[in-house]
Structure 1
Amino acid sequence: MQRAGSTACLAYRDVANRPRVPQLSHITRPRAAEAQRTHRCAAIPICCAHLGDGGATTMSRIDRITIQTYQYTLDNSGREYTRFLLTIDTDDGLSGSYAPHFGGTPHAQAQVQEMARGLIGVDAEQRELVFERLKISHRHYDKSGISVIDTALWDLAGKKYGVPIAQLLGGFRERLPVYASTTSGQPGRGGLGSAQGYADFAESCQSAGIPAYKIHSFFDGNPKTEIDIMTAVRERVGEDMKLMVDPASSLKSFMDAVEVGRACDDLGYFWYEDPYRDASSSAVAHKRLRDFIRTPMLIAEHIRGFEQKADFTLAGGTDIMHIDPELDGGITGTMKLAHFCDAIGMEVQLHTAGPMHRHCMAAIHNTHFYELGLVRPDSPTNILQPPIYADGYGDEVGNVGEDGCVPVPDGPGLGVTYDADRINSGELGRLEVR
């Protein structure tokens, strides 16, 4: 391990452990013995003075950050996916990790790599400080990189104190009601190849005790397609199952969105999500759309940033705020948004699924369902979830209990165990900052 005052390199190795050209050389680590100091990240100061009770709690300073890139193939397809695992180590032997699912994109990984350079020597428990400084220093980017770092720091804190993240957040429940969120179908292909196929799957989910179901249809931009599927599902499951529809910005015009929205009204849908081609980015347009329909709208999935989402909401752009913990600043950003909405009497929904999402939802009063997605009838695999868990964690229909709920992981931190052998077997490279 590098000691205080030493000089280190950022090295990148492939699976054969062959050195590659360093991407950044001679990163000088500030002296860890200083009780107060400023470490500069893109000219923005991150103060590392202890903020606790006069030093009674030992600081855990970050002294190594590892970004491991890996590849995997889902069991039911030949498609290859590339994701990454972030691990943050401290000088007192602690470690926190996070392997993003939906948010594990190449640009998120690039952001994490850039941000990591300024975190060496920082107190790992000063998550709020890290969040604010990274938000400012990387204000030209979205928040996906911050999300991964923030979540790994929360995992580290939970492990330090031996409690789940949900407990650190003040969580009040151990089981979360789910809704089955389908993949998009293709006409004539597979279990979701027709309106009746969607109805069959909804009925199957209902029989398994799942209380709600969201349709992602063919995304062909045709209101009739949406309405035919919506109608078939409602007729099949009756009134006892809550139904939602997400055209995923595929409808081609405002009036198409109105047409589908009025069908939601007639069929008693629980919410109407991201209807048309503005990609849910115009608060004015969605405020107008809300004037035409009665069904609550779930918008803001594609709006990034705390202030931006708050502005969109206060401008009347949505009835329910959609928050993605992997894209909206991690656990810290998610809880800020949830509390903001709670203060103005608005509910939130968390986008997609994962261990982080479960811990957040356990501590959020103003939310209804955990999104079990994306799932389909002809495969047990959630297409958004990497197969990297060694402890049975999963977000498939088969993981839902008879009560229609999934558990909040109860181990320290995120409470999950990553399958190191599987990740290592698919390793494409490893980046370390010291």
Structure 2
Amino acid sequence: MSIISRVAVHAFCYELEDFDHNMMTYAKNGRSPVTKFVTVIETDDGLRGEFAPHYMANAMTCAQVSQMAPMLIGRNAEHRSRIFEDLKNAFRHFDRAGVAAIDGALWDLAGKKHNCSVAQLLGGYRDRIPAYASTFPGQSKPGGLDSVQAYADFAQQCRELGYPAFKIHGFWDGKPESEIAVMTAVRDRVGDSMRLMTDPASSLPTFLDAIEVGRACDDLGFFWYEDPYRDASSSAFGQKKLRDFIKTPLLVSEHIRGFEQKADFLLAGGTDIVHIDPELDGGITGTMKIAGFAEALGIDVQIHTAGPMHRHCLSAIVNTYYYEMGLVGPGMFNSMQPPIYTCGYGDQLEDIDSDGCVSIPAGPGLGVTYDWDFITSKQTNLSEISG
């Protein structure tokens, strides 16, 4: 039995070059401070599990992990499901993003204890998975995706790199004609050589706007249509009505937290494909619950954003298509990925094989190693508890 004896949360800050302060906009010679964190869990028999979130490595999640840490001391580190349930209940008044950071570290620890990858622990289905290029949003400032032409050029670049599919995050200006212009230009450029998707990120103001763009998806043969309008993809009634007007499959529920709520949303007819984010939906434990439920109903899922934990989940999920390589753009670093890997892991535009696939990390646990010299040199806070 491995008893948890110490939990540490290492917050660190570094500068991102050529970005505006929002980390979404290219700005030549710009410098944006980025704060992220790593969760470390140690046990009385010398084991250590580590997890560094990408997308949700923010101050809010970091604070949650520090609040949750005392509940772990003295617990069996292999009781991941029990810890998941206890944290889910104790923090039911919050979004519970901290659960994922703890769950990721516990799975990493378990893999290292048994000298196998998380994918093996999950009973892997695949070793590699096709990736799609998921763009940064458009911008009005020069650089990046600053025009309709830039989207078409970038889609062609991604196709030449080997990506089989391309997802558009448009200008998010709330104008259907803007979304449709980008969609049309990209389709005209790549023809039928790529599957195309679009994600207005809930920016379309009205239901009728969502129908207009959805019908353009139908006409252009888009693979899915994601988070269309300003219900923030949280109204099962509204999304079900939208499905009645269009043919393109809807991918929503990214903003519905937790497996019970996602199950309710799916049963209410709110989506065609379930969207899961391991960093928001309870880590690997929560993700596999949702994926299994959807599979039982014959429904596909897609994993939101990228990271080692995401890849291990995808290794064991049958009912899914792609890995989301994002966010990417012309000459732009994927700002979600912290520059902390010493093992060659990466979620940058070029980090795919020639056939458009990415590999599942094969080492023990999550299969990645962190640059602790870099992390400690940039450390801004250390929260730890032991017992």
The bucket for the TM-score relative to the shorter chain is over 0.9
Match of 2:347 in 1: 395
Match of 2:116 in 1: 163
Tell me how far apart the structure 2 counterparts of residues 123 and 76 of structure 1 sit (CA, whole Å).
45
SS at match of 1:399: coil
Tell me how far apart the structure 1 counterparts of residues 129 and 142 of structure 2 sit (CA, whole Å).
32
Match of 1:418 in 2: 370
Q: Cα offset for 1:189?
A: 2.1
Point out 4+ residue stretches in structure 1 off by more than 6 angstroms.
none
Tell me how far apart the structure 2 counterparts of residues 187 and 199 of structure 1 sit (CA, whole Å).
16
Of structures 1 and 2, the larger Rg is shown by: 1
8 Å CA contact 1:72–1:386 kept in 2: the answer is no
Mapping 1:2-81, distance limit 5 Å: 59-77=1-19, 78-81=31-34
SS at match of 1:193: coil
Match of 2:72 in 1: 119
Instruction: Give the letter for the 2:339 counterpart.
Output: P
Match of 1:231 in 2: 184
Match of 2:59 in 1: 106
SS at match of 2:68: helix
Tell me how far apart the structure 1 counterparts of residues 104 and 218 of structure 2 sit (CA, whole Å).
38
Instruction: Give the letter for the 1:392 counterpart.
Output: G
Mapping 1:271-420, distance limit 5 Å: 271-379=224-332, 381-420=333-372
Deviation readout 1:204-236 (Å, 9 max, x if unpaired): 100111000000011000000000000000000
SS at match of 1:162: coil
Q: 1:132 aligns with which of 81, 85, 102?
A: 85
Match of 1:144 in 2: 97
Q: Cα offset for 1:107?
A: 1.5
Please give the TM-score of this superposition, normalised by the length of structure 2. Answer: 0.96
Instruction: Give the letter for the 2:187 counterpart.
Output: R
Determine which structure has the larger helix proportion and give its number.
2
Tell me how far apart the structure 2 counterparts of residues 133 and 112 of structure 1 sit (CA, whole Å).
14
Tell me how far apart the structure 2 counterparts of residues 316 and 190 of structure 1 sit (CA, whole Å).
40
SS at match of 2:71: coil
Instruction: Give the letter for the 1:133 counterpart.
Output: D
SS at match of 1:406: strand
Q: 1:252 aligns with which of 205, 225, 248?
A: 205
Q: Cα offset for 1:201?
A: 0.4
Tell me how far apart the structure 2 counterparts of residues 378 and 87 of structure 1 sit (CA, whole Å).
33
Instruction: Give the letter for the 1:214 counterpart.
Output: K
Tell me how far apart the structure 2 counterparts of residues 127 and 311 of structure 1 sit (CA, whole Å).
24
8 Å CA contact 1:191–1:198 kept in 2: the answer is no
Instruction: Give the letter for the 1:150 counterpart.
Output: D
Please give the TM-score of this superposition, normalised by the length of structure 1. Answer: 0.85
Deviation readout 1:115-161 (Å, 9 max, x if unpaired): 11111010000000001111111111112111110110000000001
Tell me how far apart the structure 1 counterparts of residues 116 and 383 of structure 2 sit (CA, whole Å).
29
Q: Cα offset for 1:191?
A: 3.5
